[in-house]
Amino acid sequence: MKKTFDVEHFIEELKRKCALTEVKKFKKNEIITTYLLKRNQMHILLKGEAYLARYDKEGNRRIIYYLRKNDIFGEAFYKLHTDRELFVVAKKDCEVLFLPYDIIENCNKDCTFHISLLKNLPDLILHRVADINYRTELLANKSIKEKLLSYLENLSIENNSKTIEIPISLSELADYLVIDRTAMMKQLKKMQEEKIITKNKNKITLLKEGFTNKWNLLF
């Protein structure tokens, strides 16, 4: 059986053995890094929460995915390019480890933790691709109602509960689903009236009678 990449162990090894890495702290809403064309670093979120986003021509924020403790980011741009500027922003106060690609490519052969990362890089990239693929499928739903129900049911499955707490603000949820916040709030109210959900602030309960097979598109 293939061994799972141990991020915690890798981080501790980096801190002990690698002088070329750097740990930086960021306050809430600070930009951690940007991606435009090729970047020369990947990063590990040691503390806090963050998100990857871009802005459209009208200046509207579009959240692509969220990052939590021990998430590795920037790995998708290893040897790759992007022609659209992307931003990683601190959702909460963060501590981030910066890891230059050069120390992976030019590392001493005895440096086992760099070799481990390089070997596991495809899996790390696939994990991130899966996140993006999920969001692509989510956004393929045409109506606001479909997007909301798909998102909420996924949270329900992840938490094994019909009652869930949305882990982000409603404004961030609207950005993530690429919908207008006011229209989203109206739809949530309508879904309550239709007895599809009950809602108390960010806590939502999915009611059994509100489900149909249509909402199992992603799962």
- The domain ranges of the chain are 7-132, 140-216
User: Cβ distance 98 to 22 under 8 Å?
Assistant: yes
Rounded mean pLDDT, 166-186: 92
Q: How far is CA 95 from CA 14, 33, 50, 103, 132, in A?
A: 15, 13, 10, 21, 24
Was domain 7-132 assigned CATH 3.40.50.720?
A: no
**Per-residue pLDDT, 133:** 80
For 109, half-sphere exposure in the C-beta direction (CA atoms, 13 angstrom radius) is 0
**Per-residue pLDDT, 195:** 92
Rounded mean pLDDT, 126-145: 81
The listed range with the strongest mean pLDDT (21-25, 38-42, 170-174) is: 170-174
Of the two residues 196 and 114, the one the predictor is more confident about is: 196
Tokens, residue 216: 């199992």
**Per-residue pLDDT, 79:** 55
Beta strands in 134-219 (DSSP E): 163-165, 197-200, 203-206
Q: What distance in Å separates the CA atoms of residue 82 and residue 72, rounded to the nearest whole number? A: 18
The CATH code for residues 140-216 is 1.10.10.10
Give the least confident one: 2-6, 10-14, 62-66, 114-118. Answer: 2-6
Residues 6+ apart with CB under 8 A from 193: none
